[in-house]
Amino acid sequence: MRGKCGVYLDAKEIPAPAIVAALRRHSLEDRCVVYGSFPLLHALAAMGHARLAMPEAVSVETLRRSLAEIQPRVVAFDRHDFRDDVIAVARQAGVGIFVDRLGPEDTPAH
């Protein structure tokens, strides 16, 4: 994979130090985003790896909190939070927007 694609890591039960160690071991720190709970992403940021964190947007208020506390480079959006008001906050902050539309809405029209 090295040099060919990025990595999207959806972390459920993985401690932040283990994630960083595995990514470092495989030289993927600059080619990965980590999607997970706010405490996990906050831990990554506290370790100096905020660039890895990809929080879910959720709402205007939640996104503003994530931007202030974690300072991610990209934010995840699903069908519930992919709304103009939330998108505007992400755009104003200059972060990337990752849209996850799996399921019946995974079509060009959506």
- Average pLDDT for runs of 10 along the chain of length 110: 82 94 91 94 95 96 96 93 96 94 74
| Residue 94 maps to a domain | yes
Q: Given this model, what pLDDT does residue 1 score?
A: 64
CA–CA distances in Å: residue 40 to residues 19, 62, 70, 101: 10, 15, 10, 23
Residue in 2, 103, 41, 44 with CA at minimum distance from that of residue 58: 41
110, 101 Cβ separation under 8 angstroms: yes
| Residue 105 maps to a domain | no
| Residue 107 maps to a domain | no
| Residue 109 maps to a domain | no
Q: Given this model, what pLDDT does residue 2 score?
A: 66
Using DSSP's 3-state secondary structure scheme, residue 12 falls into coil
Q: Which residues pair with 10 in a beta bridge?
A: 35
Distance separating the N- and C-terminal Cα atoms of the chain = 30
Q: Which residues pair with 99 in a beta bridge?
A: 77
**Taking the model in full, what pTM does it have?**
0.86
| Residue 79 maps to a domain | yes
Q: Given this model, what pLDDT does residue 104 score?
A: 78
What is the residue range of 76's domain? 7-99
Domains in the chain, number? 1
Q: Given this model, what pLDDT does residue 6 score?
A: 85
| Residue 110 maps to a domain | no
